[in-house]
Structure 1
Amino acid sequence: MPDETIPQEQRADARRNRERILEVADDVIRDQGTQASLRDVARQAGVGLGTLYRHFPTRDALLETLLRQGFDGLAARADELLDGGLPPEQALAEWLGEFTLRAGAFRGLPASLMATLGDEDSALHASCLAMRTACGRLLRAAQETGRIRPDVDGTDLFALVNALSWIADQAPSLAARRERLLALVMDGLAHFGGR
C-alpha cells in the first residue's frame, strides 16, 4: 500500500531515480567491474550519493538487484533441467555451463560471489544460496545415478565452477576455453565405478 504521506509525484521521482541508478550501474559495472566507484554511478545517473545509498545501502545490495533476475532464472532452470528428461549428469553440466556464463557477466563478480559463502549478512548471500541449492539438487540427482562422485558437495562444486568464471575474468584470453575447462571439471567429478 503506498505511503499516503509522500506525494505521488515524489514517489514517481524516487522510482525514476532508482531505475536510472540501475541502468547506469549496469553499464558502469560491466565496464569497470564489481568494485566500480559508486560515486561514479551516482554522478552518471544524475543523483547524489545519498540518493544512491537510500535505494541501495551497500554495494552488494546494488549487485544483488542487478543480478537477481538472472540468478532467479538459473534457479528455475535447474528445475527445468531436472524435469526435462536429460540424464542427470548432462543436466548438471548444462546448468554449470550456464552458471559460468552468468558469473562472468561483470568483471570481479566471481570473487564477489565467493565472498558471500561466509557472509550471511551480504545482500548477495541469499541469491547465491538459492543458486547453490539449485545446483545441489542437480548434483544429488546425478550422484544418485552413480555417475558423479559421492564425496562432492554443493560447496565444492560452487567453488570449482566459480573458479572457471574467475579464470575467464582474470585472463579474458582463456574465456574461449571455458567449455573445455568445464568438461575437464566434469571428467574429474565422474564416478567411474558408476559407469
Structure 2
Amino acid sequence: MAGQRADARRNYALLLAVAEQAVADQGADASLEQIARTAGVGSGTVRRHFPTRHALLEAVFRKRMDTLADRARELAGRPDSPAALLEWLGAVLSFAATTRGVAEALNRGHLADAGEFCASARLSEAGGPLVARAVAGGGLAPGVTIADLLDLITGIALATEHHPDGVDQAKRLLDLTINGVSGPA
C-alpha cells in the first residue's frame, strides 16, 4: 500500500471503515455493492482493493488477529502450558463469538489464495507453539493439532452466532469440549 497514490490509500481506508461497519451489522455476507455505494466509490474500486470477499473479511479482522497472535506469544512463556493454551483459545472464541463474520472468515480460510493474509493461517501460526508445548507436557492429547482446535472454535462460534446468549453459550460449549460430556464413572 505504500506505493499507492494518495487517493488510492484514502479509498482503501474509507472502504475498510465502511466494510468494518457493514460486517458488524450484516455479518460475513455484507453486500460489496452496498459497501461501494456507502463509500461513494464504484464496485470496481472495491474489487481492486479486495479482489474476493475473503480478502475483505481478512482486512476487516487483521488488527484483532494480530492482537491474538501477540497474545499467543506472550502466553507461550507461561509454565502451565495447558492453562496458557486454554486462555488463548478462550480469547479467540470470545472474539469469534462477539464479532459477526469472524467465524465465517475462519471457516473460509481454507479457500485463501497462496500469499493472501489468512486469519486461520495467522492463528495457526500463533497458536501452534502453545499446542506443541501442551502436548509435550502431557496436558493435551497427542495428535491434537492447532487446526483441530481452531476448527472446534469456529464450529462453536458458528453454532452460537444467533443464540440469545451467544458468548455464554460459546464458553459453555468450549468447557464441554475441554472437560468432556461424560459424567463420573
Contact 1:42 1:48 in 2 (8 A): yes
Q: 1:76 aligns with which of 70, 74, 77?
A: 70
Contact 2:106 2:119 in 1 (8 A): no
Highest Rg: 1 or 2?
Answer: 1
Residue 173 (structure 1) shift: 3.1
Structure 2 CA distance for aligned equivalents of residues 67 and 151 of structure 1:
29
Q: 1:100 aligns with which of 93, 98, 102?
A: 93
Matched, 1:65 2:59: yes
Say which structure is richer in helix. Answer: 1
Structure 1 CA distance for aligned equivalents of residues 133 and 127 of structure 2:
10
Gapped runs of 5+ residues in structure 1? 189-195
Structure 1 CA distance for aligned equivalents of residues 148 and 6 of structure 2:
45
Please give the TM-score of this superposition, normalised by the length of structure 1. 0.82
Residue 120 of structure 2 is matched in structure 1 by: 128
Q: Moved runs in structure 1, 4+ residues, more than 4 A?
A: 122-125
Structure 1 CA distance for aligned equivalents of residues 172 and 98 of structure 2:
19
Q: Percent identity, aligned pairs only?
A: 39
Residue 183 of structure 2 is matched in structure 1 by: none
Amino acid at match of 2:161: D
Q: 1:178 aligns with which of 149, 152, 170?
A: 170
Please give the TM-score of this superposition, normalised by the length of structure 2. 0.86
Residue 120 (structure 1) shift: 4.3
- Alpha-carbon RMSD: 2.3
Structure 2 CA distance for aligned equivalents of residues 62 and 105 of structure 1:
19
Amino acid at match of 1:160: L
Matched, 1:27 2:34: no
Q: 2:34 aligns with which of 28, 33, 40?
A: 40
Structure 2 CA distance for aligned equivalents of residues 63 and 44 of structure 1:
17
Structure 2 CA distance for aligned equivalents of residues 183 and 86 of structure 1:
22
Amino acid at match of 2:148: D
Matched, 1:147 2:128: no
Amino acid at match of 1:154: I
